[in-house]
Amino acid sequence: MKTYLTTLKKGIIKENPVFFMLLGMCPVLALTAAAENAVGMGLATTFVLVCSNIVISLLRNLIPPSVRLPCFIVIIAGFVTLTSLLLKEFVPWLYDELGIFLSLIACNCIILGRAEAFARKNKVLLSAADGLGMGIGFTLALFTVGSIREILGFGTWFGLSVTPDFVDPMMIFIMPAGGFFTLGVVIAVVNKIARKRPNNISCDNCPGKELCKRSMNNNEHLSNNG
Partner 1 sequence: MKDKFDFKPTIVLALVAGIVTALLVIAERSVQYDETQLSGKLADSCIELMGEGEYKVLLDWLEEGYPIEKPPEVAKLIKNTTTGGIAFQIIVNGYSTNGINMLIVMDEDGGVEALTVVENKETAKIGTRVEDPAFMNNFLGRADPVRIVKGTPRADNEIAALTGATRSSNAVANAVNLAIETYEVLYG
Question: Measured from the CB atom, is 24 or 178 closer to partner 1?
Answer: 178
Find the part of the chain contacting partner 1 (CB under 8 A) among 6-14, 72-80, 102-110, 189-197. Answer: 72-80
Give the three-state DSSP class for 157: strand
Report in angstroms how near the CB of residue 86 gets to partner 1 at its nearest: 7
Amino acid symbol at 69: L
Report in angstroms how near the CB of residue 214 gets to partner 1 at its nearest: 33
The answer to whether residue 184 forms part of the interface with partner 1 (CB under 8 A) is no
Measured CA to CA, the distance from residue 134 to residue 114 in angstroms comes to: 8
The answer to whether residue 88 forms part of the interface with partner 1 (CB under 8 A) is yes
The answer to whether residue 61 forms part of the interface with partner 1 (CB under 8 A) is no
Measured CA to CA, the distance from residue 182 to residue 173 in angstroms comes to: 8
Q: Sort 224 into a burial class: Cβ within 10 Å, 0-12 / 13-18 / 19+.
A: exposed
Residue by residue, DSSP assigns 55-119 as HHHHTTTTS-GGGHHHHHHHHHHHHHHHHHHHHHHH-HHHHHHHTHHHHGGGG-HHHHHHIIIII
The answer to whether residue 176 forms part of the interface with partner 1 (CB under 8 A) is no
Question: Measured from the CB atom, is 16 or 108 closer to partner 1?
Answer: 108
Question: Measured from the CB atom, is 4 or 101 closer to partner 1?
Answer: 101
x/- track of binding to partner 1 for residues 18-47 (CB under 8 A) = ---------------x--------------
